[in-house]
Structure 1
């Protein structure tokens, strides 16, 4: 029963991470470690259907793992949710590009501020440090968004 709860929790967490509502049916693939786990999950399939809302639910010991998929590992099983069922990849790439553009503007704005000798020499040191922290934060966010974009383009 704990395994079933872990699987349901993992599926819901992945859905929340990629902003896919529970009302939307998505394909779910569960690769079990052995036939015993497979049998237990098959016997409790009704709960997986009810609480995970799959369009198709595949439970097996060997599964063709989709190239682009979110995954989770629980005791005795690995869960895969193909990204194509979760998000519109083109729409997500466009959204991520907008976010990168916004972060680029913020980095440029902070860079100009920190390159201005008048600002750096006249502003209190805590204000200058706050701008440097903003700069690091924007650059870090931009790198993460770019990494996500690169992952989706594979």
Structure 2
């Protein structure tokens, strides 16, 4: 909520040309915070009461309010999966920026390689990506497009991102960084593979939990292949 939605909502809150969008963002911000305060109140009574009193409300105290109830009509697995992909992509870009000590205030261009629904989601959320990752421009290309030279690479599920850091990138340092990523992803893939190789886990865990692990392993193997290919390209 704080790290992601509030940052995303700022664009709509400050956009004077989109009054309906601003009101929608304000309502979501209030609704989520109001519900969170009610859930936290039994454990943090004083601070939640103090914050709640500053929000639009009915009644004298948060302690007399009805307990929030889940509404399955609000569930949207597709939107959740899309946002998870956007968040992973932003994290990957931020990690590259930090690795190469690119100041948060410095805008950089980004080239995204993706296909299908992932490409559609990236295009739909280009403004959010630019805002959260500090990008000057967002360019979307097919997954099979030629890889840019002298560009730092970031990998997230279903997408490769290239940041053309001309004059800022050290090829040797980039290879070392990618090798560390390979080691980390390989270790995680081995952990997931070991879990899936455990007959007790596969037979006793809920089917959706097992499938989630299988999907995670497939994502890791795909990312490993892409990063290894990038290392080979840089070394050639």
- Asked whether 1:5 is paired with 2:109, we answer no
Post-superposition offset of 1:83: 2.4
Q: Say yes or no: does 1:74 pair with 2:181.
A: no
1:18-76 CA-partner distances (Å, limit 9, x unpaired): 000121111101100x2221111111112101111222211121444221111122111
**How many angstroms apart in 2 are the aligned matches of 1:30 and 1:16?**
19
Q: Aligned partners of 1:60 and 1:38: how far apart in 2?
A: 8
- The reply to whether residue 22 of structure 1 matches residue 118 of structure 2 is no
Task: Confirm or deny that 1:42 pairs with 2:123.
Answer: yes
Alignment partner, residue 139 of structure 2: 58
- Cα displacement string for residues 104-149 of structure 1 (whole angstroms, at most 9, x for unaligned residues): xxxxxxxxxxxxxxxxxxxxxxxxxxxxxxxxxxxxxxxxxxxxxx
> Superposition pairs for residues 47-126 of structure 1, below 5 Å?
47-62=128-143, 63-84=145-166, 87=168
SS of residue matched to 1:83: coil
Q: Which residue of 2 aligns with 1:116?
A: none
Give structure 1 regions of 4+ aligned residues with deviation exceeding 3 angstroms: none
**Any idea what SS the aligned residue of 1:73 has?**
strand
Q: Is the 8 Å Cα contact of residues 35 and 61 (structure 1) preserved in structure 2?
A: no
Question: Over aligned residues, Cα RMSD in angstroms?
Answer: 2.6
Partner secondary structure for residue 103 of structure 2: coil
Structure 1: distance between partners of 2:127 and 2:164: 21
- Aligned residue number for residue 124 of structure 1: none
Aligned residues: 92
- Are the counterparts in 2 of residues 70 and 82 from structure 1 also a CA contact under 8 Å? yes
